[in-house]
Structure 1
Amino acid sequence: MTANTLKRQPLYVQVKQLLLQRMGEGEWRAHDALPSEWELAGELGASQGTVRKALSELESAGLLYRQQGRGTYVAPVPGDWGDAVLLTPGLFSEPPDELAREFLGLSRLNASEDIADALQLRRLAPLLRIRQLWRWHGAPVALDDVLLPAEAFEGMEARWLRNSAGVYATLQQRFGVRLRVRSEQFRAEMLPREEAGLLGVTGMVADVPALCLLRLSESMDGRPLEWRQRYCLTHQLAYTVKHD
């Protein structure tokens, strides 16, 4: 964002963007307390009312939370798996093993009719495609294709995705967008050849259907912003959704 762009925006928006930038750069991490409104106002050269409006918008977007009488804190970044984990079938209480994420690439494509409809875009609208692989004890277990409206996330850089915890973390830290799942669909599906190769599916396992997840996620104000397809190998592990 250029200095001229900042000058054309309302002051509270400029304050919000500066706070987002500092959070994205790691100055404040999950559950860290921000300075008080008075301290931020003095530091940024803005009124307390301007800072309060910027903080309120960040809170409404799910990026901050407040504790009465204690202050304002950075909200934790949601994970790309949400409430889901991979467990041994039937062992609901087993501690899940952490999955290792491997960023495979960032590219562009045009929206098909069904994806454009889901994301409320025009047909052939430009999309960002993010591909990432998930490993369990070194073995590939899941493959994501994430599609985002290119216009909403202009300036996305592969290095941000490579160095982050996932797509949701990148969107929150770099663009101030927190996503929540609107809808998910599950079905068994035979793996396409390319996806089978990336997941290392060969031999007898190649004849076993994979779990295919389709997910539509939205911003906190209800705008659809993510279409995700995940292939997950479940011949040894169960895709498990935890409910608190």
Structure 2
Amino acid sequence: MNAKSLLRLPLYEQIKQQILQRVADSEWDSNELLPSEWDLAEQFSVSQGTVRKALTDLVNDGVLYRQQGRGTFVAEPLDDWAGMSMVSPGMLREKPDRLVREFLGIQRGHASDELAATLGLRRGAAVHRIRLLWRQQGQIVALDEVTLPLERFEALDVRWLRQSVGVWAVLQQHFGVRLRVKAEQWRAIGLPREEAQLLHAREGEPALFYLRLAEDMQGQALEWRERWCLTGTLGLSRQQEQ
């Protein structure tokens, strides 16, 4: 967001955007205590009430969290699963095992008409397409295909994707972009041939297909993600938010 656009926003929203940018730029680490409302008010030359309203919005957005008597902290950024986890059916109280990401590759392509409209791109705009496998205890459980606008992330480096824990972490670390889920859909499908091969499964095998649109904290749609989840021995659960 440029300075001219920022000035058109209500004052508390201007402060919110500035705090967001400082969080995205890693000025404060995850779980780090922010300065007090009074200190932030002095830094931004606004009232404490304006700062409090901005912080409350960011708490509601999941960017920050509060602890009674201690203050406001930076929340852990969501990972590529955005708070979901794989659990065994009927075992919702179990502690989920960490999913291990396997980077399969990245290639350039062109946005379909639907994708271009959803991400606000021109027709046929260039995009990055990233494929990832997810394993639990060595077992393949899911496949992701992530689409990002190339113009926004032209400098995306394959080394970052190989070394990082996920796409969302790369975008925050290298581009200062923190994502959140804007919309998501689920449906049961039979696995298509190519996806079945990558998942080491049979074509037509029952799977859960997950479609997600993610946006940055300013509300701009930036990521389209398709995920195929094997359902034979595992289920999905949404973790409790901080």
Pick the TM interval, shorter chain: 0.7 to 0.9
Which residue is equivalent to 2:104?
104
Q: Does 1:154 align with 2:151?
A: no
Q: Does 1:239 align with 2:241?
A: no
Using structure 1 for the length normalisation, give the TM-score. 0.72
1:1-244 pair list within 5 angstroms: 23=26, 29-32=29-32, 75-202=75-202, 206-244=203-241
Structure 2 letter corresponding to 1:118: T
**Pairwise CA distance, 1:154:** 2.0
Structure 1 letter corresponding to 2:223: E
CA RMSD of aligned residues (A): 3.7
Q: Structure 1, unaligned stretches of length 5 or more?
A: 1-15, 37-47, 51-55
- Residues 71 and 116 of structure 1, relative CA distance in 2, 3 Å threshold: same
* 2-structure distance, mates of 1:29, 1:159: 23
Q: Would you say the 8 A contact 2:193–2:204 is kept in 1?
A: no
**Pairwise CA distance, 1:125:** 0.6
- Residues 223 and 199 of structure 1, relative CA distance in 2, 3 Å threshold: same
Percent sequence identity over aligned pairs: 52
Q: Residue by residue, what CA displacement relative to the aligned partner does 1:158-200 show, whole Å, maximum 9, x if unpaired?
A: 1111111111111111111111101111111222222111111
Q: What count of residue pairs does the alignment treat as equivalent? A: 219
**Pairwise CA distance, 1:241:** 2.0
- Report the secondary structure of 2:152's partner residue: helix
Structure 2 letter corresponding to 1:162: R
Q: Would you say the 8 A contact 1:20–1:174 is kept in 2?
A: no
Q: Structure 2, unaligned stretches of length 5 or more?
A: 1-19, 37-42, 46-53
**Pairwise CA distance, 1:98:** 1.1
* 2-structure distance, mates of 1:152, 1:191: 32
Structure 2 letter corresponding to 1:228: R
Structure 2 letter corresponding to 1:157: D
Structure 2 letter corresponding to 1:180: R
Using structure 2 for the length normalisation, give the TM-score. 0.73
